[in-house]
Amino acid sequence: MWPWARPMARGGLLMESHLAAMHTREDDGRLVVDLTGVRTIRPVHMVAVLARARAAREDGLAFHLDGPALRDPGVYAARMRVGSSIERLGGTHTLPTDIVEHDRARSLLEVSSIATRDEVRALAKLVHGKVTPVDPALANALWEGICEIGMNVQEHAETVGYVAAQTMPNLGELRFAIGDAGRGILSTLRPRGATDHRTAIDLALSGVSRHLEADSGTGIRETTRLVTELSGAVLLASGDAEVVVGETTRTARVNAASFSGTLFEATIPLPSGRHAARLS
């Protein structure tokens, strides 16, 4: 078991904010993201870091990541290619560089940019493969919802987004995230009645889109519904607000480290015991 990737107790998926320990500051003309206090590296951290790194480059700022103070989560972030992705964007970081690569394509999707439909399909394919043993119909519907969310990043965010996923059969969880540092939900839904980041998130979760067509732009709503039907949880963050939705609960928080774009992360419980081997 990886202690830096330990899930919260079942039924307690909503008890903490995964973004609370991630801090951002400007320091002598560079944007610094501080993950030193993060003990559990999740996909939402990875896509948020890369989205900020790309936004910094587009704004003409240098970028630096202070990785987790603990070595194990830093190694995991490096294994997920966070450090090498930052380097390709011209940034610097403190993540370990002496990482041995292993082929684990069946159990994770390293952080990747959403430059084409292929990256979105790679995430949808991994999620589909893991959920199919649980519920084939929900797996097919999740495929469609994830593809729509990913395509919306390209259409609405006006920047490049990122995806990442991790599965841990011994822990019984699938986690995946999609994020960008673009316009944010409020900018997109202000014409539809959003007055602040919290109301914009609520509108998105209820299926409101900038499009007037009834079935258009509902990827967030449908994916959230499907994840919670699987007893999972979804985090949606934009601006200074974040909302976590579970099977029977919804929790809203103020995000002190305001994020200019949009972050979506889902956590889905997977079978454990003798059936878990087929998910690895």
CATH code where residue 100 lies: 3.30.565.10
List the pLDDT tens digit at each of the 280 positions of the chain: 233 333 333 333 443 567 888 889 888 889 999 999 999 899 999 999 999 999 999 889 999 999 999 999 999 999 999 999 999 999 999 999 988 765 565 667 888 888 777 788 888 888 888 888 888 888 888 888 888 888 777 665 567 889 999 887 667 888 999 999 888 999 989 998 999 999 999 999 998 887 655 555 578 999 999 999 988 999 999 999 999 999 888 888 887 667 888 999 999 988 643 333 333 4
Query: What is the total residue count of the chain?
Result: 280
| DSSP category for residue 247 | S
Q: How many domains does the chain have?
A: 1
- Which backbone phi and psi does 115 adopt, to 5 degrees? -95, -30
* DSSP code at position 66: E
Give CA separation, 208 vs 48, 60, 100, 118, 217, in Å: 24, 34, 45, 26, 7
Q: What is the DSSP letter of 172?
A: T
With CA atoms as reference, report the closest residue to 51 among 141, 7, 112, 99. Answer: 112
Q: Report how far apart, in Å, the C-alpha atoms of 192 and of each of 104, 146, 150, 212 are.
A: 43, 23, 21, 9
User: Can you give the residue range of the structural domain that contains 24?
Assistant: 3-279
Other CB atoms within 10 Å distance of the CB of residue 169: 18
Q: Which residues pair with 202 in a beta bridge?
A: none
Pairwise CA distance, residues 34 & 192, whole Å:
35
